[in-house]
Each structure stands twice: as structure tokens, then as C-alpha cells.
Structure 1
């Protein structure tokens, strides 16, 4: 196991158990206790955990949700986020839209992921600001206060200059016939610009968004690469999307 993989494992285990033991980690990872102590010291220096006698605990004042946002269907969104982790790798240039599904996803990202991430979502930007190896670019503009995202020409100008590997896009409504649609015209324009700036487009949404439509079209389903939902990928309600060539996770 590489050093970065080992440290990601340590952080994930700490998130699950809230306290980790040097001895136990050494046994689980088949390395010396000194190696684990060095890992814990380095992670402590980066502010990712608090090293204590015999192991480590979470950093007490590190907020998990900066804005205390109420997230509906959080367990389903965590399931979606865990599926989408397979699409991440070091070195990517990523665009992330707003929405609580993407916010949950941002909290599940490997703590030592090395990537460049653009977002116009203030809550997601604040969450990602805690990751030491992510080059974070917050796209400023007119703030849409209810969703805490920026919109307008300033956002479009930045997006027009980006060439991203992958875009993780939240969804308001989607149907096989109407494609991806939005309630607000300005948001639909921003999402179109995200599509144009990205090599690969990944939609992230819970099943209640399926087979619904809103007034402003973003794109048809042929423009999409991947859909990540809380459903089984073989569920029959996703058949039309599969036939259109969309990968389902």
C-alpha cells in the first residue's frame, strides 16, 4: 500500500470510529508502529486529525457542515456519493455544481485527493477548503441566496475558459424525453456552460428527480456520460437512459 493510500485509510477509519489506535492500525496495515506514528504526526501537522497518546481522534473544531444545512434523503445521497468516488483520481480538473447531493459527495472525497476543483457553490467551496491537496477555485458572481450559488456573466466568463476532465452536476429534473431541465433560466445557462467546459458529464441525483420536467432545458440525455442514483443500476425505470448510451452507477 502506498503512503497516500495508507493515510487515506487512516482518515477514513477515524471518520468511522472516531478514535484510532496506533497498535491496531499497525496490525491492520501490516506496517510498524513507528510508520503509523509518522503518518499520524504528518496528518496532525496538516490539521486532519489530533494525535493523542496511543492513537488519534478527530479535530474537535472541524465543522462537518459549515452552514448546518438540512439535507433531505441524506442516506440516499451518501449512497450516491460513495458510488461516484470511483470516478475520482488524482490530477483531475473538476467542475462541481451546487446542490445537497454534491455537498454530501464533497464530504466523502478522499481527504488527500489531489485535484483542481472549480465550483460556484459557496457551501461546497467551504467544505472543500478543508482539503489540503485540492486547488480550489470559487467562481464569483451574483449570489442566488436561496441556493447559495453564484450566477450571471462573471460565472459564464470563467467557465468559458476552463477545460475540465469531469463535471459533477446536481439535478432538479430529468426525463428521457425532455432531458435535463431547470426551474430558473440563469441556472440553466450556467449549467450549459459547465457542459461545454467538461469532457465528461456526471449527473448526481436521487430517484425522485426522474421523469419530471421544468421550464428551461439544459441538454438532452445524449449529451450525458454517466448518471449516479440511489437505484440499482439495472432498475427498469433507467432502461431508456441505458438505451441512450448513458452509463448508470
Structure 2
């Protein structure tokens, strides 16, 4: 079992129990206790669990972020974020859109990860500011107070000059025929420019946003390198997307 799979197994196990013992889990997975301790240490450093001597507990009452934003379905968004980590590489130039799924993803990024990240999301910028090896560029502009993201011509002008390796795109709605759609026109325009500026576009979405449509189109599915969800790729809800040739994780 790969490390990423073990971490997912541990987080899933906390849906059934409140405490996991190091020895019991090592026997269950038929691996060494030292391996389990390293896994616990990494999950503890990411703020997902509380590690104690010989065991670990799930973190339940942690602050969401510096703005105390309530993250709905955070457990699902953590699953999405854990899958998205495999798309990170040292030294990348990254564009990060707003949204609480991307915010949950940012909380999981290793503290020593090195990259250049552009974002127009104030909460995400504050979260990433804790990473000493990330060169963080916050794209200023008119602040949309509800979503805490910047919009407008200033944002578009900055994005038009960027050549990014990858864009992690938050999703409001995803439909097989309509692709990605947004409720707000200005945000849809910003996201279109993010896509133009990026070599790869990876959409992060929870299952409740799949098969939905909003007023303003962002892009078609053919413009996405991959879609990451909290579902198993064999789930009936996303079978049509897989059948259409989309990379779904």
C-alpha cells in the first residue's frame, strides 16, 4: 500500500473510531509500527490528527482559517485535497482560484513545498503565507467581499502575462454538456483567463456540484486536464464523465 493510500485509509478509519492505536493499525495493515508513526507524524503536521504516545485522534475543533470561514462538507474537501497533492511538483508555477475546496487543499500542502503560486483569493493567500518556500503573488483588484476574491480588469491584466504550469480551479458547477459554469459573470471571466494562462487545468470539486448548471460558462470539459472529486472514479454519478474521456480522480 502506497503512503497516500495509507493516509486515506487512516482518515477513513476515523469515520468509524475515535482513536487509532499504533500497534493495532500496524498489525491490521501488516506493516511496521515505525511506518505508522511516520504516517501519524505527517498527518499531525498537516493538522488532520492529534498524535499522542502510541495513538492518534481525529482533529475535530480546529480553526478553519484566519478568517474563520465555515467550510461546509470539509471532510469531502479534504479527500479532494489529498488526491490533488499528487499533481504538485517542486518548482512549479501555479495559479490557484478561490473557494473552500481549494482552501482545504492548501491546508494539506507540505510546509516545505517550494513553488511560485499566484492567487486572487485572500483566504488562500493568507493560508499559503505560512509556507516559507512558496513565492506567493497575490493578484490585487476590486474585492468581491462575499467570496473574498479580487475581480476586474486589474486581475485580468496580471493573469494575461503569466505562463503557469498548472491551474487548480475551484468549481461551482460541473455538467457533462455545459462544462464548468459560474453564477457570477466577473468570476467566470477571471477563471477563463486563468485557464488561458496555464499549461494544465485541474478542477477540484465535491460531488454535490456535479451535474449542475449556472448562468455563465467558464470552459468545456475538453479544456480540463483532470477533475478531482471525493468520489471513487467508478461511481455511477461520474461514469458519464469517464466515458466521455475525462480524467477523473
Question: Shorter-chain TM-score: what band?
Answer: 0.7 to 0.9
Q: Once the 2 structures are TM-superposed, how far is the Cα of residue 235 of structure 1 from its aligned partner? A: 1.2
After superposition, what is the alpha-carbon deviation per residue over 1:212-239, rounded to whole angstroms, capped at 9, x for unaligned? 1111111111111111111111112212
Q: 1:245: Cα distance to partner?
A: 2.4
Is the 8 Å Cα contact of residues 170 and 205 (structure 1) preserved in structure 2?
A: yes
Q: 1:213 to 1:90 in 2, by over 3 A?
A: same
Q: Secondary structure at the match of 2:227?
A: strand
* Alpha carbons of structure 1 residues 16 and 103: separation in structure 2 relative to 1, 3 Å: closer
What RMSD over aligned residues (CA atoms) do the two structures have, in Å?
2.1
Q: Is the 8 A contact 1:222 1:244 kept in 2?
A: no
For structure 1, which runs of at least 5 residues remain unmatched after alignment?
1-6, 25-61
User: 1:166: Cα distance to partner?
Assistant: 0.7
Secondary structure at 2:90 match in 1: coil
Whole-angstrom distance in 1 between the partners of 2:88 and 2:160: 23
Residues 169 and 204, structure 2, Cα contact 8 Å, conserved in 1: yes
Q: Give the secondary-structure state (helix, strand or coil) at the position aligned to 2:95.
A: strand
Q: CA offsets per residue over residues 34-56 of structure 1, 9 Å max, x none?
A: xxxxxxxxxxxxxxxxxxxxxxx
Query: 1-side partners of 2:232 and 2:210: how far apart?
Result: 14
- The corresponding residue for 1:103 is 103
CA offsets per residue over residues 124-156 of structure 1, 9 Å max, x none?
A: 000000001000000000000000000000000
Shift of the 17–228 alpha-carbon distance from structure 1 to 2, 3 Å rule, reads closer
Residues 133-144 of structure 1 mapped to structure 2, 5 A cutoff: 133-144=133-144
Q: Are the aligned partners of 2:233 and 2:239 in contact in 1 as well (CA < 8 Å)?
A: no
Structure number with bigger Rg: 1
Q: What's the TM-score, normalizing by structure 1?
A: 0.77
Cα-to-partner distance string for 1:73-124 (whole Å, 9 max, x where unaligned) = 0000001101111111101111000000000100000110000000000000
How far 1:243 sits from its partner (Å)?
A: 2.8
Output one character per residue of 1:153-175: Cα deviation in whole Å (capped at 9) or x when no partner: 00000100111111111111110
Verify: 1:176 aligned to 2:179, yes or no: no
By how many angstroms is 1:12 displaced?
A: 4.1
* Partner secondary structure for residue 91 of structure 2: coil
Residues 40 and 51, structure 2, Cα contact 8 Å, conserved in 1: no
Provide structure 2 residue ranges, at least 5 long, that are not aligned to the other structure.
Answer: 1-37, 55-61
- Runs of 4+ in structure 1 deviating by more than 2 angstroms, as ranges, are 7-21
User: How far apart, CA to CA, are the structure 2 residues paired with 1:159 and 1:242?
Assistant: 30
Q: 1:16 to 1:72 in 2, by over 3 A?
A: closer
* 3-state DSSP of counterpart to 2:213: coil
Structure 2 CA distance for aligned equivalents of residues 235 and 132 of structure 1? 39
Residue 55 of structure 1: aligned partner: none
